[in-house]
């Protein structure tokens, strides 16, 4: 198994500086407080149970009957109330979708309730777990048109499509969202790749990365996720291939990536390969080992 040599010290310093800058910006964004409109509001549990009971019992009824029944039920529709309804049906798409439709059909009864990316993501999560691909795809397009797509949307949708082996749609989703005004983003791609690798969907994660490479060039973090992910499933051939792609593109693997490769080679009793990786680390990154 041949791993390409790493690039020079100057390149490493440049990319390390950029990585620190992007990481710091990401931390600041993650700690932004949620807007007041998304703060949880108390939900009347009796009203919630009543609404969910109707949705469950009449989920296959015609719209007119379900709408009539829900309209006679007293409840205050808030953002939190909608999320709680979704939580009651985590794997059942029909009650959630029927409630969503009811809200759209009766806006005046609920003070023109407005959805957010959080509520759309909650629906998408339910549709995905229920494996309703058609409804998932339709709802993502609607979210894009309404400007309610977030990084979490990408993770939910790509996890669902990848686990269903809808590889072309995984790539198509990025293009579709870009056409809807959600521009291509390396940060977003990295979150998707990281999530897919965490789920063990390695072939799918690599496919998305390479198919989008000309549009969203991957960085060291992207490649690092793939390498560690392939190590997690003991596929060192693929891990080495990604390593070589990473070096060809001018990125220096992080120390954690070296450690993962060495650890996995030893675990597979491939001591010679483990020593080769360690020697590469020792020669090129001695100052970072703290030895």
What is the spatial distance between Cα 173 and Cα 224, in angstroms, rounded to a whole number? 23
Residue 136 CA to residue 93 CA, distance in Å, equals: 10
Provide the pLDDT for residue 16.
Answer: 46
The encoded tokens of residue 103 equal 């809200």
Question: What's the pLDDT score for residue 265?
Answer: 94
| Residue recorded with tokens 């490769």 | 261
Query: Confidence class of residue 287 from pLDDT cuts 50, 70 and 90?
Result: low
Q: Which DSSP state fits 268?
A: T
* DSSP per-residue codes, 124-172: HHHHHHTT-HHHHHHHHHHHHHHT---HHHHHHHHHHHHHTT-HHHHHH
Side-chain half-sphere exposure of 210, counting CA atoms within 13 A: 12
For 48, counting Cβ atoms within 10 Å of its Cβ (0-12 exposed, 13-18 middle, 19+ buried), the class is middle
Q: What pLDDT shows up at residue 134?
A: 95
What's the pLDDT band for 102 if we cut at 50, 70, 90? very high
Specify which of 37-41, 256-260, 286-290 reaches the highest per-range mean pLDDT.
256-260
Per-residue pLDDT at 12? 47
Closest CA to 196 of 234, 165, 240: 165
pLDDT tens digits for range 9-51: 444 443 444 444 444 444 334 445 555 445 667 889 999 999 9
Give the pLDDT confidence score for residue 7 in this predicted structure: 47
CA distances from 8 to 15, 87, 218 (A): 11, 52, 20
51-78 tens-digit pLDDT: 999 999 999 999 999 999 999 998 999 9
Query: What's the pLDDT score for residue 289?
Result: 60
Structure-model confidence comparison of residues 2 and 97, the more confident one: 97
Residue 241 CB burial class (10 angstroms; 0-12, 13-18, ≥19): middle
Closest CA to 154 of 134, 130, 183: 183
Q: What is the pLDDT of residue 110?
A: 81
How far apart are the C-alpha atoms of 222 and 191, rounded to whole Å? 9
Which of 36-40, 133-137, 208-212 is predicted with the least confidence, judged by mean pLDDT? 36-40
Judge residue 35's burial from the number of C-beta atoms within 10 Å of its C-beta, 0-12 exposed, 13-18 middle, 19 or more buried.
Answer: exposed
Distances (CA, A) of 228 to 196, 198, 200: 12, 10, 10
Average pLDDT of every residue of the chain: 87
């Amino acid at each position: 198994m041949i791993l390409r040599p790493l690039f020079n010290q100057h390149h490493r310093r440049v990319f390390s500086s950029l990585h620190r800058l992007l990481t710091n910006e990401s931390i600041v964004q993650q700690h932004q407080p949620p807007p007041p409109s998304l703060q949880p509001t108390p939900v009347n549990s009796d009203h919630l149970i009543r609404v969910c009971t109707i949705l469950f019992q009449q989920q296959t009824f015609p719209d007119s009957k379900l709408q009539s029944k829900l309209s006679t039920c007293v409840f205050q529709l808030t953002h939190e109330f909608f999320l709680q309804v979704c939580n009651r049906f985590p794997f059942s798409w029909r009650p959630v979708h029927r409630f969503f439709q009811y809200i759209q059909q009766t806006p005046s009864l609920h003070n023109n309730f407005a959805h957010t990316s959080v509520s759309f993501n909650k629906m998408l999560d339910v549709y995905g777990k229920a494996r309703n691909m058609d409804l998932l795809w339709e709802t993502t397009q609607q979210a894009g048109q309404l400007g309610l797509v977030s990084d979490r949307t990408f993770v939910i949708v790509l996890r669902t499509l990848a686990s269903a082996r809808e590889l072309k749609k995984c790539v198509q989703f990025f293009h579709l969202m870009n056409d809807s005004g959600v521009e291509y983003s390396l940060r977003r791609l990295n979150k998707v790749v990281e999530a897919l690798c965490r789920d063990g969907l390695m072939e799918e994660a690599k496919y998305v990365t390479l198919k989008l490479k000309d549009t969203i060039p991957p960085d060291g973090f992207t490649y690092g996720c793939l390498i560690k992910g392939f190590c997690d499933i003991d596929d060192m051939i693929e891990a080495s291939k990604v390593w070589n792609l990473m070096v060809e593109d001018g990125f220096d693997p992080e120390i954690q990536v070296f450690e993962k490769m060495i650890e996995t080679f030893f675990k597979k009793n491939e001591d010679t390969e483990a020593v080769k990786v360690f020697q590469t680390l020792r020669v090129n990154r001695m100052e970072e080992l703290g030895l």
